[in-house]
Amino acid sequence: MSDRITTLDNRFGYAVSGEERNKVLRNTYWLLSLTMIPTVLGAWIGVQTGIMSAMSPGISMMVFLVGAFGLMFAVEKFKNSAAGVPILLAFTFFMGMMLSRLVGSILGLNNGASLIMLAFAGTGGVFFGMATLSTIIKRDLSSMGKFMFIGMIMVLIAMIANIFLQSSALMIALSVIVIGISSAFILYDLKRVRDGEETNYISATLGVYVSLYNVFSNLLALLGIFGGERD
């Protein structure tokens, strides 16, 4: 009987069973694992071709914003159709390409490979920590979403401004803030699935993936700054 305990889906107005919520969560974890393949492939191709390194930081930022938001819009638009998963995987391949400039610069360090593995392990630790918290916390976290979204928009504006300011201190501070907000977003998104507020696993995967991507890229940047070994 406990598997059939239901919660009210506030958006659609119908009850979502515990069994259905668990199915969405399993599919989210499965698809999230699958997204790692095109991400790694995209990063590898980007490093090998040097396509992102050939762009100026400003052009790279414009390509990132247009491509990322355009593909995220497409994922949300087709999340209830057969095209949803392929578009999501295309998005993760694109994000891997965008990551290649950072990965390439880190690999140029003497201990670059170990820093990448450390960033990957740290990101995994954040994910498992937030996933565990999502099973423990009982209170409704829906009110967090609006404040975290506003925070990320402010950080994005500051990052764009820093392209011109070129402030290392600001970049470090923003990276720390992004890691904190993104970690909270992972908790928020997984809790929404567990509470039956998110019933589409493609949309859930998209949200968690973006947060993990932000944690990894900013953690890797910080490790490169503070732990990189140069000749």
**Strand-pair partners of 8:** 15
Q: Which pLDDT does position 16 carry in this prediction? A: 60
DSSP 1: -
Question: Of the candidates 38, 136, 51, which has an alpha carbon nearest to the alpha carbon of residue 96?
Answer: 38
Q: Which pLDDT does position 138 carry in this prediction? A: 83
Q: Which pLDDT does position 86 carry in this prediction? A: 96
The model's pLDDT over 78-93, given as tens digits with 9 standing for 90+, comes to 999 999 999 999 999 9
- Do residues 11 and 197 lie in contact, with contact meaning Cβ atoms separated by under 8 Å? yes
Residues of the chain with confidence (pLDDT) below 50: 1-14
Provide the whole-model pTM.
0.88
How would you classify the pairing of strands 6-8 and 15-17? antiparallel
The answer for residues whose C-beta is within 8 angstroms of residue 175's C-beta and 6 or more apart is 218, 219, 221, 222
The pair of three-digit structure tokens given for residue 194, joined into one six-digit string:
């567990």
